[in-house]
Amino acid sequence: MTPRTFLVHGLLAGLIAGFAAFLVSYVVAEPQIDAAIALEEAGAAEHTHDTATAGQPHSHDEEAAVSRGTQSTGGLALGTVLVGIVLGGATALAAAFAAGRLGGLSARASTATVAAVGFVAAALVPFLKYPATPPAVGSGDTISERTALYFGFWALSLAAAVGAVLLARRLLPRLGAYPAVLAAAGAYLVVVVVAGAVLPTVNEVGDFPADTLWYFRLSSLMTLAATWAVLGVVLTGLVGRDADRAAERLRRQELAAAL
């Protein structure tokens, strides 16, 4: 299979994964965002009442340019689909590079491995260090700092995962499959645990209800897991189907040559 074929499969798988992420997010995450917004508005209304009582002028916030209904439907669908396509393309190109280079793994197994590593390194580990925060939580003055910390840790986690895969590939002839994988996984964990301990923790929860925060983060993690699960399953299935067809064509050619 050529990298172009992998990429086409990845874009298709990413499109499907994006729609799946939209459905999961719309069902489980959007209600938690609405709850967070309601708390934020309640706090703003209380602040307005206090300042009005004290005789201080208060200016109302301008209406949002895009309604909440549009954000939670069209905007959400567009965002999740675009993210899914980008993830699908990137994962497919990584799988194309990995195919044939991860010991004796088939194209199907290599693709599944790349998708699993991508989920852990680019989604799960960064989320555990810097979990998602609803709109009502956190100071607007620190948005840039929090964003930089998240993407910095994300890039470090991804780089450590790539390094771990290369380490496993190098150790494979000497140690065998399982010891090489365990050594690479251990090296990755050491890097991310040390980095996670050194980097500052962002925890601007304040008086925000813990249960609302918990359900929001749980639903965000569910959306991430659904995105990567669908992406991995669909991409692995497409790659495996093509690999099976190629093997069948080769078998028929060898049979015809033998006859």
What does the pLDDT average to over 1-22? 92
How far are the Cα atoms of 94, 133, 202 from residue 147, in angstroms, in the given order? 25, 11, 10
Residue 64 has what pLDDT? 55
Three-class secondary structure assignment of the chain: CCHHHHHHHHHHHHHHHHHHHHHHHHHHHHHHHHHHHHHHHHHHHHHHHHHHHCCCCCCCCCCCCCCHHHHHHHHHHHHHHHHHHHHHHHHHHHHHHHCCCCCCCCHHHHHHHHHHHHHHHHHHHHHHHCCCCCCCCCCHHHHHHHHHHHHHHHHHHHHHHHHHHHHHHHHHHHHCHHHHHHHHHHHHHHHHHHHHHHCCCCCCCCCCCHHHHHHHHHHHHHHHHHHHHHHHHHHHHHHHHHHHHHHHHHHHHHHHHHC
Indicate whether 75 pLDDT > 60.
Answer: yes
Long-range CB pairs of 78-81 (<8 Å, 24+ gap) are: 80/18, 80/19, 80/21, 80/22, 80/25, 80/223, 80/227, 81/15, 81/18, 81/19, 81/22
Residue 65 has what pLDDT? 65
Query: What distance in Å separates the CA atoms of residue 117 and residue 91, rounded to the nearest whole number?
Result: 10
Residue 124 has what pLDDT? 95
Q: Which of 222, 203, 201 is nearest to 153 (CA)?
A: 201
Least confident among 3-17, 43-57, 241-255: 43-57
Q: What is the mean pLDDT of the chain?
A: 84
125 within 8 A of 192, measured Cβ to Cβ:
yes
Q: Token pair of 1, please? A: 């299979």
In this predicted model, which residue has the larger pLDDT, 56 or 20?
20
Indicate whether 33 pLDDT > 60.
Answer: yes
In this predicted model, which residue has the larger pLDDT, 139 or 173?
173
Indicate whether 28 pLDDT > 80.
Answer: yes
Residue 46 has what pLDDT? 57
Query: What distance in Å separates the CA atoms of residue 99 and residue 42, rounded to the nearest whole number?
Result: 54
Indicate whether 49 pLDDT > 50.
Answer: no
Indicate whether 250 pLDDT > 90.
Answer: no
Query: What distance in Å separates the CA atoms of residue 60 and residue 120, rounded to the nearest whole number?
Result: 43
What does the pLDDT average to over 40-51? 56
In this predicted model, which residue has the larger pLDDT, 167 or 1?
167
pLDDT tens digits for 177-189?
788 889 999 999 9
Percentage of residues in the chain with pLDDT exceeding 70?
86
Indicate whether 126 pLDDT > 90.
Answer: yes
